[in-house]
Structure 1
Amino acid sequence: MKAKTIGRHLRESFKSLRRNGWMTFASVSAVTVTLLLVGVFLVIMMNMNKFATDIENDVEIRVHIDLTATKEDQQELENNLRKIPLVESITFSSKEKEWENLVDTMGKAWSAIGDEDNPLHNVFVVKIKNPEDTPTIAKDIRKLKWVHSAEYGEKKVENLFSVLKISRNVGLVLVIGLLFTAMFLISNTIKITIFARRREIEIMKLVGATNWFIRWPFLFEGIWLGILGSFIPIAAVATGYYYAYDFLVIRIPENYFLSPLEFSPFVYQVSLLLLLVGVLIGAWGSFISVRRFLKV
């Protein structure tokens, strides 16, 4: 396509936006409302996905070493643990350290008991590359020599993985459904605009204009509608997340494993995504809507 032709199509798209002021306002409003819903839902779902990932990554297997194991036996066990392909890291925690952690949790009244006789085991804390493989790896670890027990929360962890999987699938379906709803609303709004100009299209067809020559101005018009309609959602989502992020960060403990996605670059990524979605659904809506009027 020649630059002169592109310029002509752009000018026609701008003229159409001005001539059909109320229809332009209706289309932009439809884009704004739907993209605002998409933006808010995306922010919520992406943060929920991060929380789910953080929870999964926090799952670990605590391998309690047999009380009769010597240092050489512990080293042998550690070597065998490292041979397991899906193991990401292994951290040793002595029974003295385990008792300190227990006292911190239960209270200082327990410290006197530990001074006399510490009943706890030395522990290897094992992290798995894929948290969903935790149950399988735990079963393999229990078969190793010098392992007293291997604990990871059993039913709670398995139920957690099931809930996270379902929530992610439901979230994905809702986002896709919301996007299709946005496309449907925008397509119908733009269709009304094009319907008001159907005679203009018929005349252009009768004088020999090609389908794409007629289609391009409407396509550009849909793109402008998508861009204009994305401004308010981008500003609203960015501003809202800025204050929400500050509110949450202040109230979440510094070393807590759950935290929201950082404002930057997350907000810029969502803003770009909303702009692209606005452009795509605007262009798609125009493309679909003008097609039926090209059959003269």
Structure 2
Amino acid sequence: MKARTIKRHFRESFKSIGRNGWMTFASISAVTVTLLLVGVFIVIMMNLNKMADNIENDVEIKMTVDLIADEAAVAKLEEQLNAMDGVLDVEYSSNEKELDKMIEGFGDELGLYKQDNPLRHAFYIKASDPQQTPIVAKKIESFEYVYEVVYGEGKVEKLFNVLNSGRNVGLALILGLLFTATFLISNTIRITIVARRKEIEIMKLVGATNNFVRVPFLLEGIWLGILGAILPMIIITIAYWNLHKYLSPKLEGEFFQLLNMSPFLYQLNGLMLLMGVFIGVWGSFMSVRKFLKV
């Protein structure tokens, strides 16, 4: 395609936006409203997903060592645990440390047991994939000198099922909202192009190729998508910045934490811009195709 033709397409796309003022406003408004809804929903779902990840990462396995195990046996157990597939982290806790934890949690009265410590040495293990915690726990139970393996059996599986269901529902809702947004915006852009069908027919009758007719409309769809995405990007950025500034100090040290503004907002804004462009181009492409057969 010649440079002069490209310039002509860009010029015509800009002229068309200005020439069809109300229809352009309607298309941009449709993109703005739907992308704002999609953006807000994505912010909510991504922060809920982070909370779910925090819950999963908090799951760990506690393995207590048999009293007959000597130091060499404990060291061998630690080597076995570190060499296991699917294990992310292994932390050894002697029976003295275990007693110190109990004293800290339940009071100094338990300090009497320091003279004759009844507790066992323990290992705290985290799986590389928290969802695989039950499988890793079963493997650990087969090791020699293992007294007990505890990870919240039964409750952990139910927790993972709830979290997975929540993620799947959230993903389905986002996809459904995106599909609805694409449908609504495409129809709005289609109305704009239907109003100009005579222009397309005349261009075809004088010998214009399909690409020559189509490109200005595709460019127009890009501009509509970009213009429609700008306002939602600004609104969500300002709102999330203020929300993060207000809530982060209050949530410090708590279980639930908001996603950091960077790079989350950059990623979200980039995604919304791409969605706006895609929806604009798709709506224009599908709408103009109908009128190219003259």
Q: Same fold (TM over 0.5)?
A: yes
Q: Which residue of 1 aligns with 2:291?
A: 293
Aligned length in residues: 294
User: Per-residue displacement from partner, 1:7-51 (whole Å, max 9, x unpaired)?
Assistant: 111111111111111111110000000100111111111222222
Q: Which residue of 2 aligns with 1:61?
A: 61
User: What's the Cα RMSD here?
Assistant: 1.6
- How far off its partner does 1:216 sit? 0.9
Alpha-carbon distance in structure 2 between the residues aligned to 1:174 and 1:257: 26
% identical equivalent positions: 56
Q: Which residue of 2 aligns with 1:138?
A: 137
User: Per-residue displacement from partner, 1:116-154 (whole Å, max 9, x unpaired)?
Assistant: 544322111111111111111111111211111011111
Q: Which amino acid aligns with 2:174?
A: V
Q: Which residue of 2 aligns with 1:246?
A: 245
Q: Which residue of 2 aligns with 1:280?
A: 278
User: Per-residue displacement from partner, 1:174-195 (whole Å, max 9, x unpaired)?
Assistant: 1111111111111110111111
User: Per-residue displacement from partner, 1:251-280 (whole Å, max 9, x unpaired)?
Assistant: 1233x5542221111101111111111011
**1:65-84 equivalent positions in 2, closer than 5 A:** 65-84=65-84
- How far off its partner does 1:247 sit? 2.5
Question: Does structure 1 conserve the Cα–Cα contact (< 8 Å) formed by 2:28 and 2:224?
Answer: yes
User: Per-residue displacement from partner, 1:192-251 (whole Å, max 9, x unpaired)?
Assistant: 111111111111111111111111111111111100001111011111111221233211
Alpha-carbon distance in structure 1 between the residues aligned to 2:179 and 2:75: 57
Counterpart check, 1:27 vs 2:34: no
Alpha-carbon distance in structure 1 between the residues aligned to 2:70 and 2:218: 75
Alpha-carbon distance in structure 2 between the residues aligned to 1:110 and 1:171: 49
Question: Does structure 1 conserve the Cα–Cα contact (< 8 Å) formed by 2:103 and 2:111?
Answer: no
Alpha-carbon distance in structure 2 between the residues aligned to 1:169 and 1:77: 38
Question: Does structure 2 conserve the Cα–Cα contact (< 8 Å) formed by 1:58 and 1:257?
Answer: no
Q: Which residue of 2 aligns with 1:41?
A: 41
| Ranges in structure 1 where 5+ consecutive residues have no aligned partner | none
Q: What is the TM-score of this pair, normalised by structure 2?
A: 0.95
**1:183-262 equivalent positions in 2, closer than 5 A:** 183-254=182-253, 256=254, 258-262=256-260
Q: Which residue of 2 aligns with 1:13?
A: 13
| Ranges in structure 2 where 5+ consecutive residues have no aligned partner | none
Q: Which residue of 2 aligns with 1:264?
A: 262
Moved more, 64-73 or 220-229: 64-73
